[in-house]
């Protein structure tokens, strides 16, 4: 069953009128009917479209906030989303989640023009989640319509025109604010002229193109003056997370900057809600006024999570650690070390920095947190036994805060899965998730869970989980690309090679400029899949890129790299070389204590023609008793 329908057509063809008629006719079938109006002026503010319906929590990451929104709004209501092409990314992600969960019915209008439609919204009709209805009325002419709109706007009385000018920077606009900025007569004139309509207690343009016409006629200085006027008005009554972010975003391009603490707080909110670009802009605006530590850390995180490691390092390097308190030192050291390890591809420097920082702190909580990050570094470097010891100590410590638990539990979940301790994985992953893991660590524990599901004979559940984690990543990068690597790993294990390749090509390219260890893994998996498909040239290119990007930070995936060599070599019809590489994959896994991975890659050795593969599988399957091992033995032992 589809989650609803989308009406697509040029601006001004009557999509909203048709949607309103449909909602009126269908409304009695639903517990409630709500409207969302997406606007250009609020497109850069996370969850702005949902502000009238739902209050964003004051705490929690984007993932936990999305889950809270789904619980609140996914009650079977009919949700009408007008001008969905103008949705902010987080609102678009929430609409996508409501569609995927079928917890609300959707009636959407959208215009396909020069500006890109949010990927989450385009995915609704591309993936068949909603029915697409294209409206193409005969005789419609965009140019002629725009000319008529401009003539109408030019002929408006000055008071009505002023209301539309205000709406160009804040759409919708409360009637109270409109009257305060003009007067009652101006609002009445705008309503009488047909320039605006009232929705509840808010004014909106009566036609979606009115604001385009007004904005085109205004210059940059005029728009800046309008924003300055608007900031002065709405700063008196701005409430809630979205309201504060809307005010802060508006103030960025005005002559009335907010107080630095307010801008810093808004930057931090944007960061936790996953809007890295807005967070960076707000944080830099604060830093332009004062060398605030919190703002500098926020900018550092936003840059690092966008994969801009060198810029993040430069921002964080401006801090003098000798002038910091211990709490401040910790707040600075964690993003600095993580950025060095992954984004700058300097794991040795990061490890030494972490060790030096630990020697400077005295509180048990600080040391435990540093140990948690060290556990993650150690896991990525391929020392799973040591990583597990560190993580276990952190998780057993009464001094571990949520950050420490997030790092340690996610590392322990993935380490346990690759070591063959499958029964431990889910509890560790759930503990990591409950801690509100920082950054992208949910994918680390997610890979642990999908690995355990594959090895225990539940591939359908593994794919379902991988897709669910990826869907919660929205279409934002680089999170989306990392999620697609997670999905592709499951697809390769289940033999859906072509589907995996289509995901990995884009994901590997997206992750290439970043320092995430998922980047080398993407190239490794791509080389494997292409090699198995006998696409020799492309497999070789992918393998070359995997090898050039592989290092200590991705040593965890050394078995996958050796297996990529095996399948690439096999595609060149070099059976001897392929078998040798497959055996090296098993050895690499066993050297790192990755018993489950050794078992998984040993099956590939059998498929590549290794005469000793059955013995290897027998030995490994006896060590790691699981459904995958039994199935692998049956396959390897069956007649060719």
Q: Does residue 303 share a domain with residue 242?
A: no
Query: Per the domain annotation, does 401 fall within a domain?
Result: no
Pairing state between β 4-8 and 33-37: unpaired
Residue 636 forms part of a structural domain: no
Q: Using 50, 70 and 90 to split pLDDT, how confident is the model at 639? A: very low
What is d(CA 603, CA 633) in angstroms, rounded to the nearest whole number?
Answer: 8
Please state which of the ranges 25-39, 228-242, 590-604 shows the lowest mean pLDDT: 228-242
Q: Which of 201, 222, 252 is the last residue of a domain?
A: 252
The verdict on 241 and 170 lying in the same domain is: yes
Q: What is the pLDDT of residues 433-443, one digit of tens each?
A: 888 755 578 89
- Of the residues 228, 252, 276, the one at which a domain ends: 252
Residue 626 lies in a domain: no
Among 252, 278, 301, give the residue marking a domain's end.
252
pLDDT score at 437: 59
341 and 276 both lie in a single domain = yes
Query: For position 473, what pLDDT does the model report?
Result: 57
* pLDDT digit string, tens, across residues 52-110: 999 999 998 887 888 899 999 999 999 999 999 999 989 998 999 899 899 999 999 99
**391 belongs to a structural domain:** no
Compute the CA torsion angle 313, 314, 315, 317 (nearest 10 deg).
80
Does residue 448 surpass a pLDDT of 70? yes
For 161-166, which contacts have Cβ atoms below 8 Å and span 24 or more sequence positions? 161/195, 161/214, 162/186, 163/187, 163/189, 163/190, 163/195, 163/196, 163/203, 164/190, 164/195, 164/196, 164/205, 164/210, 164/211, 164/214, 165/214, 165/218, 165/222, 165/226, 166/226, 166/229, 166/230
Q: List the CATH number of the domain containing 340.
A: 1.25.40.10
Q: How many domains does the chain have?
A: 3
pTM of the model as a whole = 0.86
Q: What is the CATH number of the domain that holds 181?
A: 1.10.10
d(C-alpha 556, C-alpha 380), whole Å: 5
Strand duo 196-199 + 202-205: pairing: antiparallel
Least confident of 298-312, 357-371, 472-486, 529-543: 472-486
The reply to whether 130 and 148 lie within a common domain is no
Say what the pLDDT of residue 640 is. 36
- List pLDDT tens digits, range 277-317: 999 999 999 999 988 899 999 999 999 888 889 999 999 99
Any domain includes 530: no
Residues 113 and 54 in one domain: yes
Is residue 265 one of the residues assigned to a domain? yes
Examine residue 452 and state whether it is found in any structural domain, yes or no: no
**Within-domain flag for 415:** no
Judge whether residue 619 has pLDDT over 60: yes
Residues 106 and 186 occupy one common structural domain: no
Instruction: Give the mean pLDDT of 523-533.
Output: 98
Indicate if 109 and 76 belong to the same structural domain. Answer: yes
Domain that holds residue 66: 4-134
DSSP class of residue 257 equals P
Q: Cβ distance 83 to 42 under 8 Å? A: no
Torsional sign, CA 98, 100, 103, 107: positive
CATH number for 110: 3.40.50.300
Same domain? 147 vs 238: yes
């Amino acid at each position: 069953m589809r989650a609803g329908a989308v009406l697509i057509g040029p601006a001004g063809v009557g999509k909203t009128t048709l949607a309103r008629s449909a909602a009126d006719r269908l409304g009695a079938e639903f517990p409630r009917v709500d409207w969302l109006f997406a606007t250009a002026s609020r497109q850069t503010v996370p969850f702005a479209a949902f502000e009238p319906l739902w209050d964003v929590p004051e705490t929690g990451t984007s993932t936990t906030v999305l889950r809270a929104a789904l619980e609140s709004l996914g009650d079977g209501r009919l949700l009408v989303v007008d001008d969905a092409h103008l949705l902010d990314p987080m609102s678009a992600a929430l609409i996508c989640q409501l569609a995927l969960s079928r917890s609300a019915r959707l009636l959407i209008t959208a215009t396909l023009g020069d500006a890109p439609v949010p990927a989450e919204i385009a995915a609704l009709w591309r993936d068949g989640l909603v029915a697409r209805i294209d409206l193409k009325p005969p005789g419609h002419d965009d140019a002629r319509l725009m000319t008529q709109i401009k003539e109408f706007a030019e002929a408006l009385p000055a008071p009505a025109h002023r209301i539309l000018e205000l709406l160009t920077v804040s759409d919708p606009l409360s009637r109270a604010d409109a009257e305060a900025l003009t007067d009652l007569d101006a609002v009445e004139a705008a309503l009488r002229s047909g320039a605006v309509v009232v929705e509840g207690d808010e004014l909106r343009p009566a036609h979606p193109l009115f604001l385009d016409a007004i904005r085109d006629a205004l210059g940059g200085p005029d728009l800046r003056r309008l924003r300055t006027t608007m900031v002065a008005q709405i700063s008196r009554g701005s409430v809630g997370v979205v309201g504060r972010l809307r005010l802060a975003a508006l103030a960025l391009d005005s002559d009335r900057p907010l107080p630095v603490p307010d801008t810093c707080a808004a930057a931090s909110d944007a960061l936790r809600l996953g809007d890295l670009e807005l967070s960076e802009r707000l944080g830099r605006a604060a830093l332009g006024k004062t060398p605030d530590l919190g703002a500098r850390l926020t900018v550092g995180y936003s840059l690092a999570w966008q994969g801009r490691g060198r810029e993040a390092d430069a921002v964080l390097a401006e801090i003098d650690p000798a002038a910091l308190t211990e709490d401040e030192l910790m707040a600075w050291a964690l993003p600095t070390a993580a950025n060095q390890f992954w984004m700058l591809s300097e794991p040795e420097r990061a490890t030494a920095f972490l060790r030096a920082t630990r020697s400077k702190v005295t509180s048990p909580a600080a040391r435990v947190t540093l140990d948690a990050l060290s556990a993650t570094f150690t896991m990525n470097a391929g020392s799973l036994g040591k990583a597990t010891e560190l993580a276990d100590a952190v998780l057993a410590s009464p001094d571990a805060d949520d950050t420490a638990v997030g790092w340690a539990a996610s590392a322990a979940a993935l380490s346990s899965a690759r070591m063959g301790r499958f029964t431990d994985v889910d509890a560790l992953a759930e503990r990591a998730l409950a801690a509100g893991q920082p950054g992208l660590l949910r994918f680390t524990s997610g890979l642990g869970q999908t690995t355990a599901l594959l090895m225990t004979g539940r591939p359908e559940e593994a794919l379902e989980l991988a897709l669910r984690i990826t869907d919660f990543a929205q279409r934002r990068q680089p999170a989306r690309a990392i999620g697609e690597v997670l999905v592709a790993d499951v697809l390769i294990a289940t033999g859906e090679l072509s589907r995996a390749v289509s995901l990995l090509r884009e994901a590997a390219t997206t992750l290439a400029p970043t320092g995430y260890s998922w980047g080398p893994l993407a190239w490794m998996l791509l080389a494997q899949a292409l090699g198995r498909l006998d696409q020799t040239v492309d497999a070789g290119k992918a393998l070359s890129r995997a090898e050039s990007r592989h290092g200590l930070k991705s040593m965890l995936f050394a078995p996958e790299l050796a297996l990529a060599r095996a399948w690439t070599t096999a595609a060149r019809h070099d059976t001897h070389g392929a078998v040798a590489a497959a055996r090296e994959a098993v050895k690499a896994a066993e050297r790192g204590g990755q018993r489950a991975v050794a078992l998984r890659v040993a099956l590939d050795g059998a498929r590549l023609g290794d005469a000793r593969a059955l013995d290897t599988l027998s030995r490994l399957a006896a060590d790691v008793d699981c459904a995958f091992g039994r199935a692998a033995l049956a396959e390897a032992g069956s007649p060719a």
